[in-house]
Structures are given as structure tokens and as C-alpha cells.
């Protein structure tokens, strides 16, 4: 099942990011991770909405619900990355990669550079096939 995060509000995406980062989270843990959090009941309602949309599920631990994503992290990461490339780089993968490589903190090992070069060669072969 592929869920679109395009239908999520900014706050819903924020909650999903927290749950993904933690792997699972209670309402209290989500609130603690939010800058300028809304009320407990508002966060709980948003998590319930995300559950209704199929993005989260939960299990009960005592009196609290522990929420976790319904998608595997790599699937969600791919969707989020596509959204970032579209939103901030006009859909240009080249511009996104250039921005990452131009960061002062970006340091790639020889192995990482070789792997990237191989991925670029694979993409070239795929485009010319």
C-alpha cells in the first residue's frame, strides 16, 4: 500500500516525522518533541486522524497508546525525498544533489564516491536502454 503524504497538513507531517524518527511514540513523547506543541487532546486527535488516513497504527500499553508508522521507513523516506526535491528544487534531482554536495559538512569517503559514480553510470545505462 502506497500512502501519499501530499494529503497531510504541515502539522500532520511534523507528527509523522517525529514518529518515524523515534520508530514509535506515545502522545506525551510526540508532544515533548514538538516545538510550540498544541494541547494533549489536539495531538491525540491528530494522531487519530493519521491513523484513519492509514499512516499510523497503535497498540495499547496500559492506559496509553503507542503509535507507529504503517509504512516501512525506506518507502516513507522515498516519498518524503520526492516531496523535498519537488518543493525546494523544482523537481531537479541535480539541484538537490548539488545542494547536498556544496554543504561544508558533507564529507564523502572514497567508497561513497565510488558508489555514487556507479549509481550515475547505472542511471545513464537505464536512460540509454
Cβ burial of 15 (10 Å; 0-12, 13-18, 19+) is buried
- Tell me the mean pLDDT in the region 9-32: 94
* CATH 1.10.10.10 for the 5-69 domain, yes or no: yes
Helix (H) or strand (E) holding 97: helix 93-101
For residue 66, what are the CA distances in angstroms to 60, 85, 100, 126? 6, 31, 34, 43
Question: Where do we find the cell 509504512?
Answer: 71
pLDDT over 60 (residue 2): no
Which residues on adjacent β-strands are paired with residue 36? none
Q: In this predicted structure, what is the pLDDT of residue 1?
A: 45
pLDDT over 90 (residue 77): no
| Statement: the pTM of the whole predicted model exceeds 0.75 | no
- Tell me the mean pLDDT in the region 1-16: 75
**Domain residue extents for the chain:** 5-69
Sign of the C-alpha dihedral, residues 80, 81, 84, 87?
A: negative
What pLDDT, in 10s, does the model give residues 64-74? 999 999 988 88
Amino acid at each position: 500500500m502506497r500512502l501519499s503524504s501530499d494529503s497531510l497538513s504541515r502539522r500532520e507531517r511534523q507528527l509523522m516525522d517525529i514518529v518515524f524518527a523515534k520508530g514509535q511514540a506515545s502522545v506525551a513523547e510526540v508532544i515533548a518533541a514538538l516545538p510550540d506543541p498544541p494541547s494533549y487532546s489536539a495531538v491525540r486527535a491528530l494522531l487519530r486522524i493519521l491513523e484513519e488516513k492509514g499512516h499510523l497504527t497503535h497498540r495499547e500499553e496500559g492506559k496509553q497508546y503507542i503509535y507507529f508508522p504503517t509504512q516501512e521507513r525506506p518507502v516513507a523516506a522515498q516519498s518524503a525525498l520526492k516531496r523535498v526535491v519537488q518543493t525546494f528544487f523544482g523537481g531537479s534531482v541535480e539541484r538537490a544533489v548539488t545542494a547536498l554536495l556544496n554543504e561544508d559538512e558533507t564529507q564523502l569517503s572514497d567508497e561513497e564516491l565510488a558508489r555514487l559514480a556507479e549509481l550515475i553510470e547505472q542511471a545513464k545505462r537505464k536512460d540509454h536502454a
